[in-house]
Structure 1
Amino acid sequence: MHTVWKGAISFGLVHVPVKMFSATEDKDISLRLIHRDCGTPVAYVRKCNTCEKELEWEEIVKGYEYEKGHFVLFEKDELEQLNENVTKTIEILDFVDLHEIDPIYFQKTYFLSPDQAGGNAYNLLLEAMRQSGKIGIAKISIRSKSSLAAIRTIENCLVIETIFYPDEIRAIGQVPGLPEQISVRDKELAMARMLIEQLSTAFEPAKYTDDYRGRLLDLIQHKIAGEDIKVAPEQQPTQVMDLMAALQASLESIRVTPTDPSTPEGTGGAAAGGANEAGAQRTRTAKGGTKKESVS
């Protein structure tokens, strides 16, 4: 792994030298813009539209647009002066419970490993946090950007996750169209909760895959091989306006889905209860076989 940051964690008077590594990697497939006629990649040019000329990097400065078309400019050394007080220390400010932090705050995850002769202090912090069940809230500066961060443990590793500052989270009240009061029918709520229960399982990350990326990689390989590929449009599910009927059909589809041989017989069907007959009736009346339905 490539080291992205080196510094230390401090809590109280304890100093823990660490190295930081990205815990995730971007698996997106990069597609470039190509001139169709000659197959040449399209270049991006730094051009001033007023002077009508291409610019060198030394001719470019950063600026902030405080009004439409009006900017204040910053030289490189002015911005560097703002970083003079930036330290290489991750100072833990508080210890809190993880469940107190809403996932909306989390940004990016990094692994931390002990650096230099910091193994003993690293192990001490790791084990103390593991036994306490707490996570640390700290401040860190990475590439001149200051962030809040949460430090926690995963197995035998300290992990730091950058998190947004509170004023970076938009207020829920800004979301248009939210209901002022939540009102649902009791029967529909019971069916929805039953459906959630039927679909509930232990979280197994390995079973979730990026289907689009897989199809794109397959298409790339076929094109490299010179094959002419025609992708059939995906058939859209039938729209169902009756919410109760959709819930009943959903429960019925779970009941008739083949189960794992190791699953006790009847599991997944008992909870469907009275929905079975309603779902079967919809199946019998559908022309051309069972319809795939969804709630609009």
Structure 2
Amino acid sequence: MHTVWKGAISFGLVHVPVKMFTAVEDKDISFRSLHKDCGMPINYAKTCRHCDKEISPDEIVKGFEYEKDKFVIVNNDELEEIKDESAKTIKILDFVDLQEIDPLYFQKAYYLSPDMAGAGAYSLLLEAIKQTGKIGIAKVSIRSKSSLAAIRVVENCICLETMHFPDEIRSLTQVPNLPSETVLVNEKELLMAKALVEQLSEQFDPTKYTDDYRIALTQLIEQKIANESTDIVAAPASEGRSNVIDLMTALQASLDATKAPTVTDAPKKKKRKPTSKAKDTAS
């Protein structure tokens, strides 16, 4: 697996060097946008509407829009200066019980493995979390984004799950048409609903659940390929390639045109006819 982040877990005076790996895999099937007439993939160029031209990466800066069409520019050096210690350290601030954390806070999961000579400290933290049943709450910065994180154990691996900060969670008061807390429901209907919940209740087994849409879409694509469907198109050769070939041809033609003529290629000199003056002398 690809290493996403390298640093250390810090709790108290213990320092645990670790490497981070993404724990989940995105299996969504992605599509490219093609030109319907020829099958060529469509490019999405970054352009400036004011200058009416394509912009290269070194011409782009970061700007925060504080008012309509008014921006504050922040450069990369300034961003580096304000990074805190969490950029290279997962600092555990507290230990809490898992059931105290609402799943709404969780974002993305990562596996952490011991790095360098950190196996002893890694095992110590792993066993401490296992035996206390607690979850570490930490701060971490991954790819320039700071977040809260939960440090927990999955089998024999320390797992980090990024979390939202409280001010990132929207208030329920913004959700329209929610029922009142004092709403009355029919008692018989409630008993039947609870009985249905109990009937469908069992131990969680994640292997039971599959992405039916992704499976059906994969089968559809494979079937089109196997049947050599008319929906299969090949993009034409890109213009860049033909330009290279044309350039090479032009260069070769230029070289050929400037070659010095060889002996065999040199034009033959015509014999000069004697003049009338020469004839008179001969006579």
TM-score by length of 2: 0.78
Counterpart in the other structure of 1:21 = 21
Distance 2:74 2:127 in 1: 46
Percent identity over the alignment is: 65
**CA shift digits 1:195-249 (9 cap, x unpaired):** 11111111110110000000100110111123669xxxxxxxxxxxxxxxxxxxx
What is the match of residue 193 of structure 2? 192
**Secondary structure at the counterpart of residue 214 of structure 1:** helix
In structure 2, runs of 5+ residues without a counterpart are 231-283
Counterpart for residue 41 of structure 1: 41
1:267-278 equivalence runs, <5 A: none
Counterparts of 1:138 and 1:150 in 2: how far apart (Å)? 6
Give the secondary structure class of the aligned counterpart of 1:122. Answer: helix
Question: Partner amino acid for 1:36?
Answer: K
Alpha-carbon distance between aligned partners in 2 of 1:116 and 1:197, rounded to the nearest angstrom = 50
Q: Kindly tell me: are residues 61 and 156 of structure 1, through their superposed partners in 2, closer, same or farther at Cα, counting changes over 3 Å? A: same
**Cα shift readout 1:257-288 (whole Å, capped 9, x = no counterpart):** xxxxxxxxxxxxxxxxxxxxxxxxxxxxxxxx
| Cα deviation, residue 78, structure 1 | 2.4
Matches within 5 A, 1:92-241: 92-180=92-180, 181-226=182-227
**Distance across 1 between alignment mates of 2:207 and 2:86:** 39
For 2:130 and 2:103, the matched residues in 1 are separated by 20
Q: Gapped runs of 5+ residues in structure 1?
A: 230-296
Residue identity in the other structure for 1:185: N
Give the equivalent residue in structure 2 for 1:279. none
1:98 is aligned with what amino acid?
L
Write the distance in 2 (CA, Å) between the matches of 1:172 and 1:84.
32
Q: Which amino acid aligns with 1:93?
A: L
Which residue in 1 is equivalent to 2:244? none
Per-residue deviation at 1:77? Answer: 2.2
Pairwise CA distance, 1:85: 5.0
- Output aligned runs, 1:57-72, within 5 Å: 57-72=57-72
The secondary structure found in structure 2 opposite 1:91 is: strand
Letter matched to residue 199 of structure 2: Q
Report the structure number with the largest CA radius of gyration: 2
CA distance in 2, matches of 1:228, 1:54: 37
Assess if the C-alpha contact under 8 Å between 2:152 and 2:160 holds in 1: yes
Asked if the contact 2:46/2:55 (under 8 Å) is kept, the reply is: yes
Partner of 2:11: 11
What SS class does the counterpart of residue 4 from structure 2 fall into?
strand
Larger RCO: 1 or 2 (CA < 8 Å, sep 6+): 2
Map Cα deviations across residues 159-211 of structure 1 (whole Å, 9 max, x no partner).
Answer: 11010000000011111000123321000000000111111111110110000
1:57-95 residue CA offsets vs partner (Å, 9 max, x unmatched): 111111111111121222332223222655411111100
- Determine the C-alpha separation between the residues in 1 that align with 2:102 and 2:84: 33
Number of equivalenced pairs: 229
Is 1:76 the counterpart of 2:76 in the alignment?
A: yes
Seen in structure 2, the aligned counterparts of structure 1 residues 223 and 18 have a Cα distance that, compared at 3 Å, is same
Q: d(CA) in 2 for partners of 1:61 and 1:82?
A: 18
Paired with 2:97 and 2:84, the residues of 1 have a C-alpha distance of: 33
Q: Is the 8 A contact 2:86 2:139 kept in 1?
A: no
Q: In 1, are the aligned partners of 2:87 and 2:142 still within 8 Å (CA)?
A: no
Separation (CA, whole Å) in 1 of partners of 2:87 and 2:73? 26
1:32 is aligned to 32
User: Which amino acid in the other structure matches residue 74 of structure 2?
Assistant: F
Amino acid at match of 1:11: F
